[in-house]
Amino acid sequence: MKVGIVVFPGSNCDRDMYHVLLDVFKLDVKYFWHEDKLPKDLDAIVLPGGFSYGDRLRAGVIAAHSPIIADVKRMADKGMPVLGVCNGFQILVESELLPGVLLKNTSLNFMCRWTELIVENNKTPFTNKFALKERIPIPIANGEGRYYVDKATLAMLKKNNQIVFRYGESVNNSVFDIAGICNKEGNVVGMMPHPERAVEAEINPRDSKPASVIFESLITTVGARK
């Protein structure tokens, strides 16, 4: 199973993601610079967290115009699983692969803390091994993590089962406490919390197993397709 991690100027969670995918889950992982072309033999794409282009203008908006995004869009349109974490989520919405926008936290401060997610959609490539309403202890680390859509778009997300994760508590006043969503087809998922920081017991003070299921779901999905 081959996974490509897209690296932008200012990405800083790419190595965390690489370590987890390679050393924990034993996958074939490769970095791709934002100016590279993506090979056709990839099985999944990950856009990691960080501060692409220093969050200039607004988080993710410059990265959304990087040359590699055309390939990400093309592969996403063909059904390839794409995961955007934190800044990766911001890039997905700015590139219009996902609806909505990520705004500054209402506190106007960077928040770094543990919280809990509730699984609202277990039909995506990253959630198919979860039970509905299962809870995931996981860390968040963002300054622009407040998800926002208007009422009409929120109704559409609910109707199409595009809300993947909700916070178990209100952490930043995201609309409907949304922490992660997917596209209509379900293969593109964006989430603000960091699963790559929660899958190893050494750094997870609660329970590392639930976050691991995100990656185990992807492995199951890709294996089933081959």
Distance CA 194, CA 16 (A): 10
pLDDT tens readout for residues 137-150? 999 999 999 999 99
Examine the residue annotation and report whether 86 is marked as an active-site residue of this protein: yes
- Please tell me the predicted confidence (pLDDT) of residue 110: 94
Q: What domain range is 24 assigned to?
A: 2-225
Dihedral sign computed on CA atoms, order 46, 28, 81, 117: negative
The number of distinct structural domains making up the chain is 1
Query: Active-site residue 19, yes or no?
Result: no
**For residues 171 and 64, what is the distance between their CA atoms, to the nearest angstrom?**
26
**Both tokens of residue 210?**
């639930």
Low-confidence stretches of the chain (pLDDT beneath 70): 224-226
Instruction: Answer yes or no: are the C-beta atoms of 205 and 155 closer than 8 Å.
Output: no
pLDDT at 226: 54
Q: Is 194 a residue of the active site?
A: yes
Question: Quick count: other Cβ atoms within 10 Å of Cβ 112?
Answer: 11
**CATH number of the domain within which 128 lies:** 3.40.50.880
Between strands 2-7 and 44-47, the pairing is parallel
Strand-pair partners of 114: 139
CA–CA separation, 220 and 56 (whole Å): 37
pLDDT given at position 223: 81
Q: Which of 86, 94, 120, 144 is catalytic?
A: 86
Predicted TM-score (pTM) of this structure: 0.96
